[in-house]
Structure 1
């Protein structure tokens, strides 16, 4: 869907994220929430610098296993998320474990924990000092990213199951 209809993909993602939180019974999936910290259905979110993140990147580095089919999974709704452009640039083409570390930083509520996680990510060369600053000082919590931070792996069956979960929420 993304390849031919980026606007429709973005709308489906925003609709599925609205009033959601991570599903503790199904790691990586979303469930209904009583209230959401963020409303995704606003013109500001639509027009501002929120971009579509390909979890399995459009140009994956060699550290990504060949467990996904670029024709079937790359632009599938289950492989997509929404991030502000600065955070999306940080995640970029990184491998799954690095992206998961970035998602965990973005998901953390405690500033102390977030700082510790960012320092560890810098030490492990996942992010640079400037990227750590962005993640710590400029980024906001996006509840749907908490779900991604709780995923153990990113493979074809998971992308398909996540896509089904997101589409059922629309």
Structure 2
């Protein structure tokens, strides 16, 4: 009889291969990215990336269109294996995928690159700055960009510097 751990490992390997990703032997425990920047990703591993269609001149046709992010959001079949790989890269001792949100460092709401691994990272759902706490910040910044209160580059810079202070940095609350 096969052990549940072996079946899970095989399923992980298949999911990674289907997404074009490889988890090398031992990399699940060898941290290449630092957790010391939490609640932010390690910028050397995940510097963020922009969607070339989401720019200041195109915001009324892209990010400011209701439902636009749904049209560019990558499917779980892509993000789930990437999350598994990146949990290993961060060396998280908790490897339960349910405890992480595969988050866009530069949010889709602000024209972040949907599928670029440099813009996706496993953000913990635990701690004093929960992953879900970032969503209202993203939404407020998007509204400010779309109503002309804040320029897109300023919103992106503020959230990429530190999402916990981004609203204050651009002067909105």
- TM value normalised by structure 1: 0.27
Q: Which has the larger radius of gyration?
A: 2
Relative contact order (C-alpha < 8 Å, sep 6+): which is higher? 1
